Amino acid sequence: MHRQAPSMSRPKRLGQGYQTSHYPLPTLDGITHKLAGAHYFSVMDARSGYWAIKLTEESSKLKTFNTPFGRYRFRRLPFGIISAQDEFHRKIDEVYEGLNGVVTNGLVYGQTKEEHNRNLCAMLQRSRERGVRLNPEKSTVGVTEVSYFGHLLIKPDPQKISAIKEMEPPKNCAELETVLGMVNYLAKFAPSLSNANARLCQLLKQSSEFLWDKQHDIAFQNVKNLITREPGPILAYYDPDKELRLQVDASKYGLGAVLLQEGKPIGYVSKSLTDCEINYPQIEKELYAIWFRCKLFHQYIYGRQVIVESDLKLLESIMRKRLAAAPPRLQRMILQLQKYDFTITHRPG
């Protein structure tokens, strides 16, 4: 049977002259705070999603391409355009704007099954009105646990965990970067990850030669165990009505923190220190840990009162002193922390 080769369009020159219209893309951290109390979920996938976006007549003409059978032009948003992803998310957000229990990328949720079903019906009705076609084969409806952005919302996707379990030790810097990228994607579920992978990160420095030894094997296995341990890590949904506690800790080579509500973790963050930062005095490391973690947890803590727990008692007195009495580096961090409403308390440890 004769098979024809598919037609392909590569709009490289068009992309070079295109004025990009940026739009903030969704993140898991940007939506989980909306899911407090939710127990039922659906994820609706748009069929050929980009093709749900109509082009203007002028834009359509710019998408003209040649074939052996004549000239054709796209009337819908094609793949391969530099700003296609931004435009798609912009239009989809406009389509479902104002609907309760519906967030970007087709996630529908509800605290009860009845509430979830109402929200889902409203989403389907809006899709019908706006001409958005959905793909039932790739959609998940009415479940209590759903994979979204590579996570099961409050715990990592088992497929990601399996992939990390099966990883072999890297043979060069490029493979190591891939390994660390996979691991860091799940960092919010792993306490003290920066301490565990500090030795591996040293291999990526320009001054270091890639020489893998037994100590790297041990560090590699420790990182895998931290992510894949049983029982697996489970986070709690953020609740805007509950007290927030931020526990921070600074070791010689890394920083770590966990955001808690009622003793349950909302998320973990960690960071390996640079060669320069390793030499900071301990009090500067502790305050740096607070500043860095407040920045990463900004969407949860900004405008909220937060209790920050540190095992360095000196921090309490430093924060009560006049700004001019602190060393210059501490002054800069204190000034950047002024937009947050927090109280530092000592946690023995």
74 plus 129 within the same structural domain: yes
Average pLDDT, the chain: 83
- Domain of 220: which CATH number? 3.30.70
Of the residues 112, 143, 174, the one at which a domain ends: 143
188 plus 120 within the same structural domain: no
**Structure confidence at residue 141 (pLDDT):** 93
**Structure confidence at residue 40 (pLDDT):** 92
CB atoms < 10 A from the CB of 128, how many? 11
pLDDT of residue 13 exceeding 60: no
pLDDT of residue 177 exceeding 80: yes
Residue 13 lies in a domain: no
Q: Which amino acid is at 11?
A: P
Distances (CA, A) of 228 to 158, 182, 344: 9, 12, 33
Residue 16 lies in a domain: no
**Structure confidence at residue 157 (pLDDT):** 78
Residue 257 lies in a domain: yes
**Structure confidence at residue 104 (pLDDT):** 76
- Longest Cα pair distance anywhere in the chain, in angstroms? 83
Domain extent for 317: 244-346
Q: Give the whole-number percent of the chain exceeding pLDDT 90.
A: 18
pLDDT band for 45, please (50, 70, 90 cuts).
confident
pLDDT band for 232, please (50, 70, 90 cuts).
low
**Structure confidence at residue 1 (pLDDT):** 46
Residue 239 lies in a domain: no
Residue 72 lies in a domain: yes
Handedness of CA 295, 297, 300, 306 (dihedral sign): negative
How many domains does the chain contain in total?
A: 3
- Summarised one tens digit per residue, pLDDT across range 199-215 is 888 888 766 678 899 99
Handedness of CA 84, 85, 88, 90 (dihedral sign): negative
pLDDT band for 239, please (50, 70, 90 cuts).
confident
- Summarised one tens digit per residue, pLDDT across range 240-254 is 889 999 999 888 888
What is d(CA 238, CA 219) in angstroms, rounded to the nearest whole number? 32
**Structure confidence at residue 129 (pLDDT):** 92
**Structure confidence at residue 201 (pLDDT):** 86
- Asked whether 86 and 77 are in contact (CB, 8 A), the reply is no
Distances (CA, A) of 187 to 88, 155, 193: 28, 11, 7
- Domain of 51: which CATH number? 3.30.70.270
139 plus 26 within the same structural domain: yes
210 plus 299 within the same structural domain: no
Once rounded to an integer, what is the mean pLDDT over residues 192-197? 80
pTM comes to 0.65
Structure tokens at 40: 């039922």
Distances (CA, A) of 195 to 212, 257, 273: 18, 12, 9
Once rounded to an integer, what is the mean pLDDT over residues 40-44? 92
Top-ranked range on mean pLDDT: pick from 30-34, 86-90, 216-220: 216-220
- Summarised one tens digit per residue, pLDDT across range 50-78 is 777 788 888 888 778 888 888 888 888 87
pLDDT of residue 151 exceeding 80: no
Residue 267 lies in a domain: yes
64 plus 116 within the same structural domain: yes
pLDDT band for 93, please (50, 70, 90 cuts).
confident
Top-ranked range on mean pLDDT: pick from 33-37, 188-192, 236-240: 236-240
What is d(CA 148, CA 151) in angstroms, rounded to the nearest whole number? 5
Residue 7 lies in a domain: no
